[in-house]
Chain A
Amino acid sequence: MYTRKNQRNLTSDQRTRFVKAVLEVKRLGRYDKYVSLHSRYFAADGESGLRVAHMAPTFFPWHRHFLIVFERELQLIDPGVSIPYWDWTRDSSASSKLWADDFMGGNGRSSDGQVMTGPFAYRNGGWPIVFGVTEERYLTRNLGRPDRPLKLPSAAELTGALAIATYDTAPWNSSPHTQGFRNRIEGWTVSDKAGGYLHNRVHQWVGGHMIGASSPNDPVFWLHHAFIDLIWVRWQRQHRTSRYLPDRPLGAKDPQHGRVISSNEPMPPFGVKPSAVFDHRHYYQYEEN
C-alpha cells in the first residue's frame, strides 16, 4: 500500500524523485510502450470491434490498471515514488507550480509548440519523442489554447458530473444517449467550440501532444489520469449503492455485444477484469487535501 498525493503538496524532494524515475524509465527504453499501447487501444464507437480504453464503460478501470502498471515500473526504479494527481479544478493556471522547471516544465513556444524548459524539454536531452503523431522529436504544449481560449473544468462542473448516480447506460458509448457518470466525465457530449467536457477538455487545454493519439508522451498525462481515477473513487464514495455497469455480459442480440466489457470479463491487453480494480485500496490510497 502506498499513497498518491496531490501534486500541489509534494515536497521539492518528492517532485525531483518522481521526475527522475520517469526519466529513467524513458532512458531504459521502457516508456514508449505505454505511448503506443494507449494509442492502439483507442477504438471509436462508430466503427466495429471491442472498445476498452475510451468511449466505453471500461474507461475508468482500464486507465486505473494502465496507471498501476506504469506506477510499478516507476517503483522498480524508486520504491518511494507514486503518481501524483493534478486537481485541475484548483491548479487551473499556466503559472501553477505544476509547470515549474523542476517538475513538468513550461508551456510550448509559440512558433512550433516546443517545450523549452524543464526536465522534459527536448534540448535537455532526456525526453526524445519516439512514438508521435508527427515526426517531431520534441514535446509540445499549448496551455489554454490562446487562439481559441479554453478554461479548465470548474469544481462546479465536476460536482455536477459526480451527482449522476448511474455509472453508465446503454448504448455504452460516447453518444448523448449514454447518460451516465462515465460518459459525462469522459467528455464527448459537448460542442466542438466548448472543447469537450471534463476529461477531454483537460487534454485540449494542455494542447500539443496531449491532444493526439500519443498523449502519454506528455508526463502530465499520468497526473491528469490519476485525478480522473480519484474522481471515480469519489463517485463510489458518494453513491455507495451504485456499481459498475454493465455488470453482466451483454446478450448476443445486444448491438453492443462483443464491443464492451462487463464487470467480470477480462480487459485486453492486461487480461484483468474490471472487478479486480473496483477497489483502489487493494493497491494504493489517496491523500486528499
Chain B
Amino acid sequence: MVTRRRVLRTGLTAAAAVSGTAAALSPMLAASDRNPAAATPGAVEAALGPPGEPPQDDEGSSAPLFDEVYRNRRIQGFASDAEAGLDVFVDGRPLQLMRRVDGSWISVANHFQPFLTPLATARGAVDAIGRADLSLTNAGHHH
C-alpha cells in the first residue's frame, strides 16, 4: 500500500536530493505492482466516484484515489485534509489543485481551464508542463 505520507516522505525528498524521477519513483513502483489496475486510466477514473478502498488508519493516510503513468509521468491523487480535499503528485512532486464552485478543478499548471475530475486535472497539468519538473517551492496557491 502506497500512502500519502510515504509519497511526501520518500518521493519528495528523493526528488529534491537526486533530481531524477527514477530515484523518486522506485519506492512507489513496487507498491503499484500489487494494484496493476491502477495504471489503467479507465479503471482509475472509476475510483473517483465512491472510494474504491477504505482509508487506512495507520498514519491517517489513505489509498490513492488514482495512480497511473500518463505520458511517461507518474500521476497520483490522495484524499487529504487540504483545502482542495486531496493531494496530487506528478513524479512525486506536489501539484496544487483548487476547487471551483461547480465542482470542477483547476491547477497551478492550468490556471484558466477547469477540468471535471482531479485525474483529468493531473493529466491536463502533464499536457501543459511536458517533460518539465514541477517546482517544489514556487508559484504556490494562497490558502
A residues with CB within 8 A of B = 35-36, 39-49, 55, 112-113, 130-136, 171, 173-176, 187-188, 192, 195-196, 199-200, 203-204, 211-215
Contact = CB atoms under 8 A, between A and B. Distances in A.
Contact of A196 (B100, B113, B133, B141): B113
Query: Chain B's interface: helix, strand, loop or mixed, by majority?
Result: loop
Nearest to A138: B132
A174 B101 CA distance: 7
A170 to B, nearest CB: 12
A36 B139 CA distance: 6
Nearest to B101: A45
B49 interface: no
Contacts of A212: 108-111, 128, 139
Interface residues of B, number: 34
B31 to A, nearest CB: 26
B114 A112 contact: no
B28 interface: no
A132 B135 contact: yes
B112 to A, nearest CB: 4
B132 A136 contact: yes
B41 interface: no
Given A36-B139, A42-B142, A212-B139, A135 B100 contact: no
A200 B112 contact: yes
B84 interface: yes
Contacts of A188: 100, 114
6 contacts: A44-B98, A130-B138, A132-B135, A171-B101, A211-B128, A214-B138
Best-buried of A135, A174, A195 by chain B (most CB within 10 Å): A135
Contacts of B38: none
A47 B99 contact: yes
A192 B115 contact: yes
Return the 10 tightest CB-CB contacts between A and B, nearest first. A46-B99, A44-B98, A134-B132, A40-B142, A213-B108, A200-B112, A45-B101, A203-B112, A214-B139, A46-B100
B51 to A, nearest CB: 20
Nearest to B106: A44
Contact of A175 (B101, B138, B141): B101
A28 to B, nearest CB: 20
Given A44-B106, A47-B84, A48-B83, A213 B111 contact: yes
Contacts of B99: 44, 46-47
